[in-house]
Each structure stands twice: as C-alpha cells, then as structure tokens.
Structure 1
C-alpha cells in the first residue's frame, strides 16, 4: 500500500512544462457531431516543418517557439482525413488562436477548411475523455485497447477491467463477486437473449472483438437500463464505420499445448467441422434400432486451430450534409482443447466421494460470425441498422474411469463412462436505431430490436460400463449390473427464445449557461419494453438393460471386449434378442403419447417508464436523479419427468427504482463521484422450471417457488486524469441484497442441486483501484513524420468482503407454502460469503509501442490476470462449500505492421498454465482438476 501511495503522490505532483517566449499557436479541437465535445490526442503539425504537438484531454493544444511568418497548419487524427488551414500568421511574442470544430458535414467550412470524415471513437484516449466528462460512473474498453491486449472475445475483454472475473470453462461473468443472475447484457443499448437455458445472459465468449467498437461497463445503475441489475450492465457497441473505403483479410493458425500433447485426438461420430450440424431422432425409435450415428468415438485430424476473417467498410457523401456508411465483417474460427484430471461428486461430511473418476475430455469449438450495418448521418439525424448472426458449436468426447457410486455402483472402481456431446447455438439480431436533434433544446433517441436464439443439443450419447464382477475392478466389463434406466441414453434438446424490444427517450435541454448551444439542465422522459417467449423441449431415449428374463432368471449379458466399441452391443440384433429395450421417461413401446417430449414454455413481459434529470448547479457540481417504474410478468408451465402431468407458475410485480448520481469536479483533472440506487434480481426460467438437467457427476432441477431479490447499491469514486491517456482512480462500493438466490445442495440421496431464496439478506463491500500510466513516451523526427515510441502500464485491483444469511427454516417454509415442491436444505453454517465472490482480483499489463516509419511499427504487450478463491456452491449437511481455487494467467501479444498493407501478430496465452481446481472446503477434497494448456497463434492480415 505504501508503494501505491508513493506512486499516487508523484503523479499528483506532475506539472505542466513552461511556455516558450517566441510566437506560438494555441487552440481547441472539438467534435461538432458530439455537441462540440473536446477531441483528445489529435495531431497538430506545421506543414513543411517538424514542429507539432497533440491535443490534451480537453482538446487543447499549443505549439511554441515558432519563428514569425505565415504557415499552413495541418490537423489529423486516426480516423480523420487531414484538415489544412492555410495563411496562419505567427507574430513574435504573441499567441495565435485557432479553434477547430470538426464535422462529418461536407458543407461545413472554416476559411478554406473542408472536413471529409469523422473520428473513430474506439481509441483509449477518446473513451477516457468520455469517462472523464460523464456524469455517471462508467468504464469502457475500446477496439484499440482490445487489439493491444490481444483480446479475441468479449468475455475476455471485460475481465481486463476493474472488479470483473470470468468463470473458468464458460463465458459467465462475475462483477464485484456477483454472478450471471445479477448482470445485464445489451448491444447498442438494446437487450440480448440468453443462448443457454441455465443462464440469464448470453455467453460473451461467442462475440468476436471483430464486431466491437467499444464495450461499456456500467457498474452503477441508471434508469435508462432495465432494473434486473446489481452487478453490471455490459453494453456491446457494434462497429459503426465512418471513413475511407477499406477491405482487410486475416488468417491465423495455432495450437493448444494440451491438445497437441495427446497421441491421437478423438471426437464424436456425426458432427462435421463447420459447426452447423443438426439432427433429429429417427422414426420409430422404440420399436426398431434406427439410430445411424455411432456410440463410439472417432479419430479426428491433427488439432490445429484456424481462424479467418474478412471485413470492410466505406462511406459516401449524400447531398450537401448527408453521409452514408456501410460496414461488414465475416469470420470463422475453431479451436481444439484437451483436459484431463479428477472429477468427483457427492462428497459426504466424512470426506468420502460417492462418484470418483479420473477423466479426459477432447473438445472442438467453432464460431461463425456475420455482422453488417448501414448508417445514414446528417448534422441533425442519425439512423443505423444492424444485422448480426452468430453460430457457435462445442463438440466434446468425455471419458470417465472409476467409481460410479461408492455405496452401490462399481464401488471398487473399474467403471467406464462415455459421453458424446454436441451443443450448437444460433443467434440472430436485428436492430434499428435513431438519433434526432429537433432543435438546440430537443432531442429524440429510439431503438427497436428483434432477437432470436436457438440452442440445440442433438443426439447426446452416454454409456456406463462396469466390471462384470464388481469385486474385480480390472476384470472384463459388461452391462450386466447396470442399475438405472437412464445410464445409457440418447438425448435431444431444443431451446428457442424470441424477444422483441424497444427503447424511446425524449430529452429537453434547459438553463442555457451563457455559451451558445450549451445547457446546464437536461430532462429525459423515456419508455422501455421487452417481450420474451421461451420454448424448451427435450426427449431422452433410455436403453434399458434387461436384468432378468421373462422366466425371472438372471439375464446373461455379454462381455464387452472393447469399451470403445459399444456399437457391437447396441444394435438391431441385440434389441431383437431382448438384451435391452428403448423407452422414454413416459414409458416404453405402447405407452400413450410416449414420444411427447419434456417441455417448459414461458413468457416474460416488461413495460417500463422512466424520468431522468441532469442538472449542473455550477460548472463543477452536477447531479443526475432518476426514477423508473417496471411492470414485470413472468409465467412458466411445464410437463417433465419430475411432473409428467404438468403444472404452471406465475408472478406479477411492479418495481419502483430510484437512482442518484453526483459528480463534483475538484479541478480540471480530478472528479469526485457518488451513486446510489435500488434494483431487483429475477429468477431465471430454468431455475423455476421443474425440469432435471443431468451431468455426469451432478444433477440440477428448478424450484417454481423462487421469487425476486431486492438490491440496494452505493458507490463512491475519485478520479485523476494526469494526461490524455492516463488515469488514477480509487472507488468504494457497497451492496445489500434482500432474499438472495443461491444454488444449493438439497437433502436427497443423490445430492442434487436446486435454487432457493437462501436467507433474509446478503451484503458486499469493496474497494477498487485503477492506474493507467505512460512510463515514457517520445517522438523522433523523421522526414515529414514524427515517429512515436512509448511504454505504458495498466493496473487495476479490487478487494471485497461479503456475507449472507443462510436460513434452512426459511427455505422449508417458503417452498412448503408454495405447494409445488417442498425443499429441505440443511446449511452447514448460519452465514457465509456470496457465491462467486473473489476477495481479490488483479489485472496488469505492460505495453511497448514503437514506430520506425509511417505505417511500420511494433507493439508488444504482457498481460496478467488473477482472482482469489471463490464459492461455487454453498455447503450443506455439515459439508464444506464447493470452492473454485484462485489462479493467475499470463498472456503475451506481439504485433507488427510491415507497411500499410501487411500486418503480423503472435499471441501466446495462459503461459503459466496453472492447475484449475475445485475443492470441497472442510473435507479438503479436490472434486475437479485439469490444465487448460497454452494457446499459441500466429495471424497475418492484409489491408487492400
């Protein structure tokens, strides 16, 4: 801590350089399209000389020590076309002032200046400037920073910001220790559906950073957002290109060291490498063996990863003031992974693992993304249409060896469990957005979206073979002692989710503050609505092993000589011989409606109105106060193996959600901020549906009696902006959650997990620190060019403590009163930390950049991320919590541009390759372990 204080003291003491006494040019650069906000870090050059500078955070610049004379001044910035102002006279010992407003309008002129394009808003400097000027507490990460850190997907991107971590093996995001249910994901301010019935939010892994201009992370609530929030609203701003025409193609290849370490890579029969595979179950699946895909693993090609992308854009002047812009990107990537380690389940209080396996898993993932948008902009109006399609797939060959159940199922070991899994998601998004400046005082913003997501698990296959004699674990294997009808099965699942959403806001500006076009007050009235339908169905075909013959004698099941050839057993011949039969959860052949799937269907409608006031009492002190009302209706009905006759559940509630943000500018480089709000947290459809999801070592089912939590949030933050790309901030936050929802192990023979309102209250308190610093920066004079070189440091850290009540009696009482599914939970303690909350999160990066000449440069970045231990699931019946052990990752990125056409990049991720572990705390038992491996990739880009 003393070192941090020392660094802080040094930075606060930074002083501006002394002015030259000769003639100089000063001024301010502003962006006409963004209400004349300052344009930071733009280049200013005296044509024909090597004298120049850059604008600071406030858009201000100064060139000193200029010999008297008449010059042409050149203004430029990445994403702008050059602007030249001729005939600028510099007089000895005097200051010449040139303020340069820049605009996309082709009709705008200043002397003989004609602006042809507008600025990109994805740079680190521009986003820091936006953060500085914002009344709300916000954080953003842009395309420029994502490229510098070698980030390839949105899930990895957000973990580079303070207080955010990702659950290993998924795209689940934890913000300040709060997991999926507490967060909201949007694109361009409009909601996105989930691609997984288990989750509220879409898996952020599926979004390639190719489509991203910036990602905004609001960790404090504002009333324009939906109130189902306590962690963060993560908003993906899609590319909106405005500039000269370009076309770029990129190709990359790489390896995962764990995947390449195996002698032979295996996958499933059926799915192809494209990721677009789909299949339905065959006709007459119970009377005959009509399944055409093999149960057995198949040899795959060498596990070499590949990615391809093609992107381009252009903009065109329409009339005197209009600009038409188009942008498109198409990409495909795949990757191979291999994990091996320990997988255990059902650990009891004495430390005995009922399920105890070693395992290996072969994985193959794909991502295909298509994004296109068209925009039309004038000084008063902006229209943007976005279309996005993302297809992702994950294929896994899972193999487990050991004890199925230490009490009564291959208790001495020797069992073999094989699961072949293919999971595919298709996301389609259509958005239309508009911004209209009707006058200096009146603005209208609106947006509408149609989203569709389909998640399929076609033909999941599982087999369990055990020793023919359980007392001889190394002996020959068979299906002789199979205990459960569902042990050997084929499973087909389909989830479809449709969502229509709309936003509209009208802003009236008042209290003109003396400068034309600027106002100290804004009043915004708005409406938000989203209407979602969810349709889920699944059917499982259980291959029931015949234990006894019709005469009640013991059936003689054959020995399986090769565990990787169970096609030799599951076939038409053995079905005819009566060695097994095929049935669904409703029964076997001849049962009425036997092929009716398990289903749950739901609707969720939200209507919301909000009012927001932004008011500047003086240039330093501004508040934003808002009030939002939401009418929420969520209904769900089901027919499943847990409740074949079916039932339904509904809740309807109205939430009143106030928020307040205060900003006080201590000086032109420092802000002090405060925010507080009330929000809520809804249970998800899967958590309320009486449906059973089965994994190899764990079973989950929903609880229809769940209800929403209420959240109270408070934040205080101090910020210092020493330079245009530098930041020091320190913040404190607190949260109180009434009736928090948790995943818990219920009292059952199989230790199933369900979801409950686990207590009266939970709290979380923490501190966040962030530092961005240029360790050195310099410019070298070349012919008509200033070559830049810099070394930058980024560091952020958060520390938090959390606590929640755990009340077994509350759970029993509330689920009994609901009358649907009484649940018994015996928590090991009366209170504990929040699930998913790491006490400590640390991110750091060091980047070196050097230009050798125009369009020739190198960039090298070393990035580190660490999170401490966090609870995966709360302990019950005297058992400890399931805890994900903390670990750190180290990534290296190297990029170079040889010229304006050719670029090369090398990324090496997870260099430390730590052991990933989950353990049961009190019993000190490892329940999951594996290594991810290092990912090495080389990519080549060509810009036409």
Structure 2
C-alpha cells in the first residue's frame, strides 16, 4: 500500500499542472423514423482522429477533449452529414443532441447544445464529484452495467470502504453496519422491509430502475442526522429521449443448486411469489392446510423477463412530458450445505449444538415502476414516481446432529426441519418539484408515502429425537423433545406506513466575473411521520404421554398427525400465552408505535478565495419515538423516547490546481435505536439465533472528521487518497445475554468507540485506440479501476454499565474490542475491455473482484472469543455483445472462485476481563466453526431486443 501511495504522489507532481479537459455527450435521433434513437452513427471531431459511434439509445460520448473551439461531424450511411461548431469548456460536459435526416436540410434550431450532463454517465458523475464541496461518490447506470451489478446492494459494494454482508442486502460503510446508515430514494427516506433492520435491503432495487446511486460518507445539514456510516441515495431512472420499448429475457443456474440430486421446497407457496396463508379458524384442532413434509421442486433453472419503455413529447409550446415504465420478474434457486454449530463450551471447546445442514431456497422478485415528468419551460418541473416491489424467499432447511450436548440428542441423531416463506411488498409514491423563480432563487420540495407489508405465513418447524440417546442412528420420535416451541407453526405480519416531506429554498448571491455566484444560502425542513404495527402468533406442539409416543418417520411427519389427532392425548397445541382453554390464548404478541421527526436546517456555502470554498450547516431535529408492546416476556407496557439533537457540520474544499482538490469535513450526528431493538419481543428467526429487544436503549452520538486529496488526470479518471476518524459516545452493540437460553439483545455496551482509516481509489484508461475502417470510426478501450480501504476500530466494553442501565446480565470476554462488522481491509478492482468490430457490432467484457478481511459478527462473551466472519474474495466476469442495432446478448459468471463462507468462534485473546465473576473461564481450544458453506457459481445468459 505504501508503494501505491508513493506512485499516486508522483503522479500528482507530474500531472498536476496539465490543463483540464472537457467532454462531449449527446443523442442522435432519426427524423425518418419519428425521432427514434439513431444507433451506430459516426461522431468525429473534424480535423482530428478523435471520435466515437452512438449506442443503441443513440447516445454517444467523447471524453478528454482539450478546451477550445471545434467542429463536430455527424454521419450515417444514406443520411446527410451534419457539422456543428461547438466550444469545449474545461471541467464541463457539452451536450449536443442532433436529429438526422436522409437528404433534406436541417434547421439550426433543431440542434440542441447545452452544458447539461448525463446523470448516469461515468464522466458526468465524476465531474459532479469534482465540482461538489461535500464528499459524495456516485455510481451511475453506465458503470453499473459495466461492472455487472444486478441490484443496489452489489452496486454500492463497488465503492471504496463499503462491503456487503453475505446472504443479505445489508452493507457496511467503513465498518459501520445497518444501524449507522440511512437509505433514501430521490432524497426521500425509505422504510425497512425487515423487523431486524433499520434500512431496507438494497437487493430489492434492481438496476433496471436505477439511474444512479449517491453515497455520501460525510454528513451535511441537509441529510437526516441519524447517520454514522453513509447516506445512500438511490436516484430512480428518468427517461428523456424519444419513444422506445425493450424486451429482456434471461436464464441461468447456480452450480450448487443444479448439482444436487433433487431440489426440495415446501408445500403452499407458488412459484410467482404472490402467496399468503392466514391462521385457520380452528388452529387448536390442528386444522392447517399445508403439509409438514418437504416436496420435490422443478429443475432449479433461474429465469427472468423484463419489459420497459419510455417516451418524451411536447405538450403545447412550453411543456415537455417524459414517461418511463418498467416491469420485471425474476427467480433464483440457491442451495447450501455445510456446518451449523452453536456456541462452544469454554471448558472443552465443543459446540453446544452441532449440525450438518442443508438449505434449499427459491427467491422471486417482481418490480413495477413508472414515472411521469413535466417540465414547464426552463423554470419549473414536476416528477411523479410510483414503485411496487414484491420480493419473496421460500426456504426448506434441515439440520442433522446434536441439538443440545447436555439435553436433546446429546450423542447426535437429532433432526430439525424448518419450512419458511417470507414475503415483502413495498409501495412507494413520490411527488417532487423544482422551481427556479429567478436566477438567484430556487425552491425544491418533495412528498413521499411508503407502505411496507412483510409476512411470514405458516412457518413450520419439526424437531425429532432418537428414541434412545445411546442409539443416535436408531428410530426417532417426539418422545424426548424438551420444549413445546421446538415443533411449531408461526405467523408474522409487519405493517409500516410513513409520510415524508422535504422543502428547501436556495438563494445565490455575489456574482463574480465568471458570471457565477460565490455564495449560496439554503434553508429547509424535513419531516418523517411513521407508524409501525407488528404481530406474531406461534402454535406450539406440546407432546404428552411420553411413554406411548410412537416412532415417527422424519420424511413423513404428516403420517403422525393424520393417524393421531389432538384428541389422542399424545399432544396439545398451545400458543406462548397458553392452551385453547386460556381466554387470551389467540391474542398475538405485538409491538408497535409511532415515530415523528421534525428537522430544520440551514446551510451556507461561500467561496472564501478563488480556490477555497466553505460549506457550513446547522441542523436541529426533534425526535419522538413511542413504542407499545404486549408480549409474554414483559406483558403490556410502553416506552417513550423524546430527544432533541443539535447537529453542526463543516466542509472545506481547496482547489490545489485545475486537476486537484483537497477536502476537509467535520460533523456531529447520532444513532437512533430502532423499534425492534427496543421491543422486549422474542424473535426466533434462525436456528441457533434468538434475540429480544431492550427498552432501556439510548441514542449514540457520533463525531466525524474526513480529509481527502483527489486528482482528476482526465474527465474519466481519478486518483484519490483520504483519511478519516470517528468518535462514538455510548455505542450500541448486539451482545449475548448471560442466561440459560443464551439469547442476543442490544445495549449501549460502553462509554466510547473510535474508528480511524485510510482510503485509496484509482480509475484510469490503460489504452484507447481508434481505427477508421472506411465506413466507421471504431474504438478499442482498456480501463482499470480499483479501491482499497484500511480501518482500525476500537471500543471500550463495560459489562457493569449494561447491567446497571438495562437490568440485563452481560459478561464481555474482552474489555476492549473492534466494532462489529469492521473489516481491516476492503478491496475492489475491475478491468474492462471495449471493442467495436463494425458499426453495428461491439463487445464489453469486465473482470471484477472484491475482498474483505475478517470482521466481527458478534462480540465475544462469557469467556468465548469473538464470533467472526472470515474474509474471502469474489471474482465476477461480466460481458455483453451487441449483434446489431436491435439485438444484444449478455453472459455473466458470478462468484468464479466459489470460496468457502465461514463463521468461527475464536479463542479468547487480547484485553480479557479477568475479574468478571460471570466468566467461568476462557476458550482456548478454538477456533470453533459456527457456520460453513459454499454459495456456488452463478451463470446467466441474457438477451434484449429493442423495438
């Protein structure tokens, strides 16, 4: 890494005084075909060899053009050649849109020349990053396609210092996980789709609906203050060209899923994902419709299709209408097999539970999105967005082995199967407005309504044990099952409604000699008004008459219940509240409440000197979070959180020269506990992983500082190096409660935590050649990009503080530890090759890799070391082939290396709490594997046809 930094500094000195460049982008349309996009037309800077051809959308881009006056030449076989004089300005993107015809002359006013950048272009986004005062990184649709990102979670994991949590759509930013980040859509907040998380899973957002994603790692007063890692803002696709329609088809497979002899799922859910199952009218009589047994599924071949289209037209003289819509459906089969073990015993290092496990899963994703844009002249615009997502996962899981080394199947032979269907529906409506009343005065506003419905209908679990513990391979039954909840049917529903509002006014002042304004003041208001309603009912099967329990075939559990009904005396059905005879037996366990956030802010931006810009802000937030619950753990009660946060921020940008910036940022933010983290509700979401909330949880306070140098050798290249630090007061962590159940909970686990790190990013073109074959100018380009981050975190752990503040018993193994989720090293790299064979045929191929080092999943407790996710590397190959102006193919190979995914419980090491009487000893016989499996390689072939 030291060598890379030295090379960057050398590059700074050798390139630092070169003149900045500009870029040319635009769109060509065909007047002979109702202004359809004109693909594969030639675009040449006259008098040079620099040029390109338009793509399927009629779009073209010429990067790294020296400032000056030029003539652009547009040509296409059988069409009139057009020449347009332009001026290239340093650091800006010049847009030239040209309608081309067969022979007739073209009026000058038909050509549109502006400096408006393409918002999804790598060049345009890089220029925006260069000009911005804040430290925001954006990744656009162009880069998403090149790197093969299929969803927003994969997309942001390509950004410096960000890694993705295996098996989920959650991301870590600079080692800070879900509770420290915030996700927005078009700058309006998004809800969570999961009771366990603060943020919505980014995997829900396919790249077909994304124009760009902005990742702001530093806080400014216009962002919500519940912010410690990053504000991730998804910008939905907005179409502005002429009419088009495109059909996409795809198919593929996962090597692990296709490699099993038979793929299994469960009874009930259909393949479309539109399924729900209500609690029957007679649940205590076992009148359920679905089978306990697994079912054979179809051959696990992944499929997908999409249809999208857009149109733009004028409505009257001053109104422009933009329309875009997309609908898609995809499915995905996955299979895992490996080890799944419980916490190890400190004395002998043996895990309390020890399983070989198999998981078959089937996922669906349905997306419907539409937007309508209206622009009234040059001063006013309105946008309406509607987005509907229906995402599901069906899982069939089986665990064989030791369930409890001191109780259930201590010698092995235990069997657990769990059938789960999890469905999330998300409906988003947004109305956005921008009004440029004068050259100086602008008003922006937005209204959003989000509705989430998450259901887990009729989750089924069976637990069977050997008739004789000394004969683990012998027959099985329910006879020795110790807890009624080990065999159950579970129904869960989460409903969340949120209304959000933004409004801001910006006033510019002090125009300079370049006809730009040195100063800008913005004042604004943000509001979030959310209500949450969660309820769950679990029907537990308590087995009676132990001596007469028959043998049960674990592959045909239905046969037992078909032969023996609830009147047999062998079992009874009860909820956590009690059997049917209890008055409130069917009363669900619930939690819910409301959250209101009112925020006012003001920002001040001013050019202090020709090369220095100041951006300062103040924000005040009033937060009210009221939560009520009715649970078995703590009965019926409520808790209120009422707090006001005053949040200052400061950013400075110094332009070292035309190609280099030096940036500084500092801020204060907070971390707000989530509803689930404060509700004393027992969640049994995974085998070996139960958790409940803590009403005593309080806010954390974050102090953040960043310093970054960046250089832009050309308009499409960047080299940057930055350092950052964070100081967190009263940090929130997940911890293992000292109890017989070993459940997880949440607490302010110490007085403080720190995080310090460094980040390096490089993106450059290795070669770029152009060749004239007599009919077209053909391009060949090789680009390389990469980023690496190093992070060092530390937090003070205080078991006594947790016990005093929460009443929960904690026994941290260490007095100090790194932050949860923090990898010391995160690395991303990609190499892309683009080649044009003819004016109608081209290819793009990208090899992209990602690596993260070990990170803590859960803090070490009761003498055990930390539970750690081991680092691994992934490698993806992404390619696309344009066969002609309408047809293109794609071939993707994901996870080529197929590494083993592993979680281990490490030995107790470091600063051990030797004086804690709750720690019986320290684990020294590890590390002990907690989880181990392979994901398999995903191969997919796609086809798209544009009408």
Q: TM-score, normalised by structure 2?
A: 0.91
Deviations 1:466-522 (A, max 9, x none): 000111111110111111011100000000000000000000000111234x21100
| Matched position secondary structure for 1:283 | coil
| Matched position secondary structure for 2:155 | helix
Alignment of 1:112-123 (within 5 A): 112=109, 114-115=111-112, 120-123=118-121
CA contact (8 A) 2:506 2:523 kept: yes
Alignment of 1:229-308 (within 5 A): 229-286=227-284, 288-308=285-305
The 1:514/1:867 distance shift into structure 2, 3 A limit, reads same
2:136 corresponds to 1:144 = no
**C-alpha distance in 1, partners of 2:25/2:892?**
37
CA contact (8 A) 1:255 1:305 kept: yes
When the two chains are superposed, the root-mean-square deviation of aligned CA atoms in Å is: 2.8
* Partner residue, 2:419: 420
Q: 1:784 offset after TM fit, Å?
A: 5.5
| Matched position secondary structure for 1:486 | helix
Alignment of 1:617-696 (within 5 A): 617-643=608-634, 645-694=635-684, 695-696=686-687
CA contact (8 A) 1:52 1:63 kept: no
2:888 corresponds to 1:870 = no
- The one of 180, 183, 186 aligned to 2:181: 183
Deviations 1:113-170 (A, max 9, x none): 5329976320111110100010111101010011001110110100000000011111
Gaps of 5+ in 1: 20-25, 32-41, 65-71, 549-553, 816-821
* Partner residue, 1:442: 441
CA contact (8 A) 1:85 1:111 kept: no
Gaps of 5+ in 2: 27-40, 53-59, 100-105, 908-925
**C-alpha distance in 1, partners of 2:353/2:154?**
33
**C-alpha distance in 1, partners of 2:80/2:525?**
41
CA contact (8 A) 1:105 1:321 kept: no
2:885 corresponds to 1:885 = no
**C-alpha distance in 2, partners of 1:317/1:58?**
34
Alignment of 1:281-680 (within 5 A): 281-286=279-284, 288-350=285-347, 351-377=349-375, 378-516=377-515, 518-546=516-544, 548=545, 554-560=546-552, 562-571=553-562, 573-643=564-634, 645-680=635-670
| Matched position secondary structure for 1:407 | coil
* Partner residue, 1:932: 935
CA contact (8 A) 1:119 1:242 kept: no
CA contact (8 A) 1:412 1:473 kept: yes
CA contact (8 A) 1:454 1:495 kept: yes
The 1:48/1:731 distance shift into structure 2, 3 A limit, reads closer
CA contact (8 A) 1:27 1:62 kept: no
**C-alpha distance in 1, partners of 2:319/2:42?**
26
**C-alpha distance in 2, partners of 1:212/1:43?**
28
The 1:112/1:398 distance shift into structure 2, 3 A limit, reads closer
CA contact (8 A) 1:897 1:904 kept: yes
**C-alpha distance in 2, partners of 1:381/1:58?**
33
Q: 1:453 offset after TM fit, Å?
A: 0.5
Deviations 1:690-721 (A, max 9, x none): 10011311211111100110000000000000
**C-alpha distance in 1, partners of 2:423/2:139?**
29
Alignment of 1:816-827 (within 5 A): 822-827=807-812
CA contact (8 A) 1:586 1:641 kept: yes
The 1:531/1:857 distance shift into structure 2, 3 A limit, reads same
Deviations 1:350-401 (A, max 9, x none): 3121111110000101100011000012311111100000000000000000
Q: 1:573 offset after TM fit, Å?
A: 3.6
Q: 1:785 offset after TM fit, Å?
A: 3.1
The 1:83/1:494 distance shift into structure 2, 3 A limit, reads farther
**C-alpha distance in 2, partners of 1:545/1:298?**
25
CA contact (8 A) 1:499 1:530 kept: yes
**C-alpha distance in 1, partners of 2:222/2:425?**
28
* Partner residue, 2:880: 895
- The one of 880, 887, 903 aligned to 1:918: 903
**C-alpha distance in 2, partners of 1:139/1:165?**
15
**C-alpha distance in 2, partners of 1:570/1:880?**
44
Q: 1:57 offset after TM fit, Å?
A: 7.3
**C-alpha distance in 1, partners of 2:229/2:613?**
24
Deviations 1:542-571 (A, max 9, x none): 11111x3xxxxx5400111x2110001123
| Matched position secondary structure for 1:295 | coil
CA contact (8 A) 1:29 1:60 kept: no
- The one of 707, 711, 732 aligned to 2:698: 707
**C-alpha distance in 2, partners of 1:237/1:89?**
30
**C-alpha distance in 1, partners of 2:419/2:779?**
53
Q: 1:602 offset after TM fit, Å?
A: 1.6
Q: 1:628 offset after TM fit, Å?
A: 0.3
Deviations 1:206-251 (A, max 9, x none): 1100000000000000111100000000000000110121111110
The 1:285/1:631 distance shift into structure 2, 3 A limit, reads same
**Which one is further off, 779-788 or 859-868?**
779-788
* Partner residue, 1:35: none
2:769 corresponds to 1:770 = no
Q: 1:10 offset after TM fit, Å?
A: 5.7
CA contact (8 A) 2:174 2:822 kept: yes
| Matched position secondary structure for 1:774 | strand
Q: 1:84 offset after TM fit, Å?
A: 5.1
| Matched position secondary structure for 2:334 | strand
| Matched position secondary structure for 1:140 | strand
**C-alpha distance in 2, partners of 1:737/1:581?**
50
Q: TM-score, normalised by structure 1?
A: 0.91
The 1:634/1:16 distance shift into structure 2, 3 A limit, reads closer
| Matched position secondary structure for 2:791 | strand
| Matched position secondary structure for 1:369 | strand
**C-alpha distance in 1, partners of 2:220/2:17?**
40
The 1:888/1:27 distance shift into structure 2, 3 A limit, reads closer
CA contact (8 A) 1:89 1:96 kept: no
| Matched position secondary structure for 1:348 | coil
| Matched position secondary structure for 1:617 | strand
| Matched position secondary structure for 1:568 | helix
Q: 1:410 offset after TM fit, Å?
A: 1.1
Q: 1:346 offset after TM fit, Å?
A: 2.8
**C-alpha distance in 2, partners of 1:57/1:49?**
14
2:796 corresponds to 1:805 = yes
Deviations 1:287-334 (A, max 9, x none): x22111000000000000011111110100233333210001111111
Q: Number of matched residues? A: 895
CA contact (8 A) 1:682 1:708 kept: yes
CA contact (8 A) 1:105 1:322 kept: no
* Partner residue, 1:34: none
**C-alpha distance in 1, partners of 2:936/2:365?**
20
The 1:625/1:525 distance shift into structure 2, 3 A limit, reads same
The 1:225/1:670 distance shift into structure 2, 3 A limit, reads same
CA contact (8 A) 2:22 2:93 kept: yes
The 1:101/1:318 distance shift into structure 2, 3 A limit, reads farther
| Matched position secondary structure for 2:123 | helix
**Which one is further off, 571-580 or 766-775?**
571-580
The 1:83/1:713 distance shift into structure 2, 3 A limit, reads farther
